[in-house]
Protein backbone atom coordinates (compact mmCIF):
# COMPACT_ATOMS: atom_id res chain seq x y z
CA UNK A 1 0.00 0.00 0.00
CA UNK A 2 1.18 3.53 -0.75
CA UNK A 3 0.83 6.69 1.31
CA UNK A 4 0.29 10.15 -0.20
CA UNK A 5 1.92 13.37 0.96
CA UNK A 6 -1.43 14.64 2.27
CA UNK A 7 -1.98 11.49 4.30
CA UNK A 8 1.51 11.68 5.77
CA UNK A 9 1.05 15.28 6.87
CA UNK A 10 -2.46 14.60 8.20
CA UNK A 11 -1.39 11.67 10.37
CA UNK A 12 1.70 13.48 11.66
CA UNK A 13 -0.27 16.59 12.59
CA UNK A 14 -3.17 14.71 14.15
CA UNK A 15 -0.71 12.76 16.28
CA UNK A 16 1.05 15.99 17.29
CA UNK A 17 4.37 14.63 16.05
CA UNK A 18 7.21 16.83 14.82
CA UNK A 19 9.30 16.16 11.74
CA UNK A 20 12.26 15.53 14.03
CA UNK A 21 10.35 12.91 16.05
CA UNK A 22 9.28 11.05 12.92
CA UNK A 23 12.83 11.25 11.57
CA UNK A 24 14.29 9.78 14.75
CA UNK A 25 11.89 6.83 14.65
CA UNK A 26 11.99 6.15 10.91
CA UNK A 27 15.63 6.81 10.05
CA UNK A 28 14.67 9.30 7.34
CA UNK A 29 15.87 12.90 7.63
CA UNK A 30 13.47 15.69 8.68
CA UNK A 31 14.22 17.41 5.36
CA UNK A 32 13.23 14.31 3.38
CA UNK A 33 10.01 13.90 5.36
CA UNK A 34 9.15 17.56 4.82
CA UNK A 35 9.73 17.15 1.08
CA UNK A 36 7.50 14.05 1.07
CA UNK A 37 4.76 16.02 2.83
CA UNK A 38 5.03 18.90 0.38
CA UNK A 39 4.91 16.55 -2.60
CA UNK A 40 8.36 17.68 -3.72
CA UNK A 41 9.65 14.09 -3.64
CA UNK A 42 8.01 10.75 -4.17
CA UNK A 43 7.57 8.79 -0.96
CA UNK A 44 9.60 5.58 -1.18
CA UNK A 45 7.84 2.29 -0.48
CA UNK A 46 10.23 1.61 2.40
CA UNK A 47 9.04 4.77 4.13
CA UNK A 48 5.40 3.71 3.94
CA UNK A 49 6.15 0.48 5.83
CA UNK A 50 8.03 2.33 8.58
CA UNK A 51 5.27 4.96 8.72
CA UNK A 52 2.56 2.32 9.23
CA UNK A 53 4.51 0.78 12.08
CA UNK A 54 5.38 4.13 13.70
CA UNK A 55 1.78 5.39 13.76
CA UNK A 56 0.28 1.92 14.37
CA UNK A 57 -1.84 2.31 11.25
CA UNK A 58 -4.47 -0.38 10.79
CA UNK A 59 -4.96 -2.46 7.64
CA UNK A 60 -7.93 -0.15 7.00
CA UNK A 61 -5.58 2.79 6.56
CA UNK A 62 -7.47 4.49 3.72
CA UNK A 63 -10.74 4.24 5.64
CA UNK A 64 -9.01 5.66 8.72
CA UNK A 65 -7.73 8.61 6.69
CA UNK A 66 -11.17 9.36 5.29
CA UNK A 67 -12.64 9.23 8.81
CA UNK A 68 -9.91 11.55 10.15
CA UNK A 69 -10.46 14.00 7.30
CA UNK A 70 -14.14 14.12 8.24
CA UNK A 71 -13.24 14.83 11.86
CA UNK A 72 -10.88 17.60 10.78
CA UNK A 73 -13.53 19.16 8.51
CA UNK A 74 -16.11 19.00 11.29
CA UNK A 75 -13.71 20.79 13.64
CA UNK A 76 -12.86 23.41 11.00
CA UNK A 77 -9.14 22.67 11.22
CA UNK A 78 -6.81 22.72 8.25
CA UNK A 79 -3.76 20.48 8.03
The domain locations on the chain are 5-74
Lowest mean pLDDT among 3-12, 27-36, 60-69: 60-69
What are the backbone dihedrals phi and psi of residue 54, each rounded to the nearest 5 degrees, phi first?
A: -60, -45
Whole-model pTM above 0.85?
no
- Short-list 49, 52, 17, CA closest to 34: 17
**Could you tell me which CATH class the domain 5-74 is placed in?**
mainly alpha
Most confident range, picked from 35-39, 41-45, 62-66, 70-74: 35-39
- Listed in order, strand segments (DSSP E) in the chain are none
Q: pLDDT confidence of 14, banded at 50, 70, 90?
A: confident
Looking at the predicted structure, is the pLDDT value of residue 79 above 60?
Answer: no
Amino acid sequence: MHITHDELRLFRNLHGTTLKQVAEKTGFSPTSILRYERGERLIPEGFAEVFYEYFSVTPNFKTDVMMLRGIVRNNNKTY
